[in-house]
Amino acid sequence: MTTVSPGRAAAPAAYAALRRQDPELAEVLLGETTRQSTSLQLIAAENFTSEAVLTALGSPLANKYAEGYPGSRHHGGCELVDVAERLAVDRAKALFGAEHANVQAHSGSSAVLAAYAALLRPGDTVLAMGLPYGGHLTHGSPSNFSGRWFDFVGYGLDPETGLIDYEQVRALARERRPKAVVCGSIAYPRHIDYAAFREVADDVGAHLIADAAHPIGLVAGGAAPSPVPYADVVCATTHKVLRGPRGGLILCGADLAERIDRAVFPFTQGGAQMHTIAAKAVAFGEAATPAFTAYAHQVVANARVLADALAAEGFAVSTGGTDTHLVLADPAPHGVDARTARGRLAAAGLVLDTCALPHGDGRGLRLGTAAVTTQGMREADMARVAALFAAAIREEGGVRAAVRDLAARFPPYPDRGSGEITAL
């Protein structure tokens, strides 16, 4: 069967085989590949992994059961996956200068759950950024285990500056005497002052948990300060700026190593996902290279230009800019709310999220530059993205075609083409 699609690279053989066996599902994979390569992924939590990471994910390691830890498994035949996990652990420790790393957490949420399980008892008080200001679901949402099992106290952001008010954090800690203080957010565009949080935690005898799911890739590339020297436990995801597979990571000192490992397995998880752990090892290896350092700095440079250009286009940019990959922009000056704006942007092929704004009672747009930077975009391209952004909000014609043209210049997976099958 041949589908004529001039100018497109051929999809890999694996796609063709899948299409023969399961055309229904193959259409989903190919459609998603096309979607990702013909629109711009500005979701701050997303990125494009390398082909090497995808290879590890799609490898026979996916077949292996491996409860336990290297050298101490509940299953036979773990000799080789043990090597993969040791590589992942050693590379994570070296990358972040941590005494201990647990690479088994299935996701960022699982990592946070394990940190709480290791350090807290149900009913304990925890101080974290309030959800209306950018706290994650695991920071006390009533619909999440965290809000159900712990007594969360939320700190906010300064409504004028959009910055963390460290005095408010200290006052709340003194008043509520939490067992743990959590720093980290889904939307905070500035560096977090981990030393200040450490002081607050020490002041009230609390553990400090850094949920660095967003900035950890920048930390790996030396483009953001590291929480490792300050926090008792650092929780992270491996799939955002860090550019690894979807998954979690926990870093801590040697003193907490055993508690953290037991909190992951057997307390909150079963068998480790060895294909993902192998893919994490690949990603940590990539993140230790000078090319990744350059990438992380480019992510920030791009985000700064994007923030400035959006401000010039009339968007209200929270905190006046960014230190990271994240930009938070309110479309209200354009006369639209965030949800309407997101719909117009999506129609134009600009894919992003809405997000809480610092004043705590409104929503804005959250953008990130991790994925477009992986595609090879630079500062000049960010200025173009901001212009397309404003045009899409104004519902001008031709924006979808312009986004498609821009995306075509930066294929995320050049060897996979746009996902369209050219020859089977």
Ligand X SMILES: Cc1ncc(COP(=O)(O)O)c(C=O)c1O
First to last CA, the chain: 6
**Segment near ligand X (CB under 6 A); pick from 21-29, 180-188, 261-269, 289-297:** 180-188
- Taking the complex as a whole, the smallest distance from the CB of residue 377 to ligand X amounts, in Å, to 22
Q: Looking at residue 157, what DSSP letter applies?
A: B
7 is in an annotated binding site: no
Cβ-based nearer residue to ligand X, 5 or 107: 107
**Out of 237, 369, 373, 418, which residue is the one contacting ligand X (CB under 6 A)?**
237
Nearer to ligand X, 70 or 368 (CB): 368
For residue 136, state whether it binds ligand X (rule: CB under 6 A).
yes
Q: Do 407 and 37 contact (CB within 8 A), yes or no?
A: yes
353 interacts with ligand X by CB under 6 A:
no
β-bridge partners, 252:
100, 233
Please pick, from the candidates 61, 126, 183, 213, the single residue that binds ligand X as defined by CB under 6 A.
Answer: 213
What span, in angstroms and rounded, lies between the C-alpha atoms of 122 and 285?
A: 37
Question: Which range in 89-97, 211-219, 371-379, 383-391 contacts ligand X by CB under 6 A?
Answer: 211-219
CB 7, min distance to ligand X, A: 36
Binding segment for ligand X (CB under 6 A), chosen from 47-55, 107-115, 162-170, 193-201, is 107-115
Distance of CA 278 to the CA centre of its chain: 19
67 is catalytic: yes
18 is in an annotated binding site: no
Residue 141 in contact with ligand X, rule: CB under 6 A: no
Taking Cα atoms as reference points, which of 374, 299, 324 lies closest to residue 49? 374
* 369 touches ligand X (CB under 6 A): no
User: Across the strands, what pairs with 237?
Assistant: 248
Q: Count Cβ atoms below 10 Å from residue 249 Cβ, excluding itself.
A: 30
246 is catalytic: yes
Q: Applying CB under 6 A, does 354 fall inside the site for ligand X?
A: no
Instruction: State the Cα angle at 154 between 150 and 155, rounded to 5°.
Output: 150
Number of residues that bind ligand X (CB under 6 A): 14
Q: Tell me which of 34, 35, 55, 67 is the catalytic residue.
A: 67
Active site residue 211: yes
- CB contact at 8 A, 169 and 153: no
Residue 81 makes CB contacts below 8 A (sequence gap 6+) with: 61, 64, 66, 274, 277, 278
**What pairs with residue 249 in β-bridges?**
236
Binding of ligand X by 103 (CB under 6 A): no
CA neighbor of 70 nearest in space, from 95, 54, 90, 53:
90
User: Directed axis angle between helix 399-408 and helix 379-393, to 10°?
Assistant: 160
Is 276 among the residues that bind ligand X (CB under 6 A)? no
- The CA distance from 370 to 357, in Å, is 21
CA distance 313 to 352: 18
Q: State the nearest-atom distance from the C-beta of 248 to ligand X, in Å.
A: 6
Task: State how far the alpha carbon of 294 is from the alpha carbons of 218, 288, 374, in Å.
Answer: 10, 11, 11
Query: Using only C-alpha atoms, what is the Rg of the chain?
Result: 22
240 in catalytic set: yes
Query: What is the nearest approach in angstroms of ligand X to the Cβ of residue 95?
Result: 19
Residue of closest CB approach to ligand X: 108
Residue nearer to ligand X on the CB measure, 36 or 144: 144
Say whether residue 108 binds ligand X (CB under 6 A).
Answer: yes
Q: Does 190 bind ligand X (CB under 6 A)?
A: no
> Does 6 sit behind a cis peptide bond, omega within 30 degrees of 0 on the bond before it?
no
Do residues 299 and 305 lie in contact, with contact meaning Cβ atoms separated by under 8 Å?
no
Per DSSP, the three-state class of 241 is coil
- Among 26, 30, 45, 113, indicate the residue that binds ligand X (CB under 6 A): 45
Is 194 noted as a catalytic residue in this protein?
no
Choose, from 33, 49, 138, 237, the residue flagged as catalytic: 237
Minimum CB distance to ligand X smaller for 138 or for 273: 138
- Alpha carbons within 13 angstroms on the beta-carbon side of residue 122 total 3
How many degrees, rounded to 5, is the angle at CA 347 between CA 345 and CA 352?
Answer: 40
- The residue annotated as part of the active site, out of 246, 304, 344, 366, is 246
Q: Rule CB under 6 A: is residue 107 a binding residue for ligand X?
A: yes
The reply, when asked if residue 326 is annotated as ligand binding, is no
Regarding 184 and contact with ligand X (CB under 6 A), the answer is: yes
Q: Which of 46, 88, 190, 211 binds ligand X (CB under 6 A)?
A: 211
Q: Is 352 labeled as ligand-binding?
A: no
The question of whether 366 is a catalytic residue gets the answer no
DSSP element (H, E) containing 180:
strand 180-183
Residues that bind ligand X (CB under 6 A): 45, 107-109, 112, 136, 138, 184-186, 211, 213-214, 237
Q: Which residues are catalytic?
A: 65, 67, 211, 237, 240, 246
Residues forming the annotated binding site for (6S)-5,6,7,8-tetrahydrofolate? 131, 135-137
Residues forming the annotated binding site? 131, 135-137
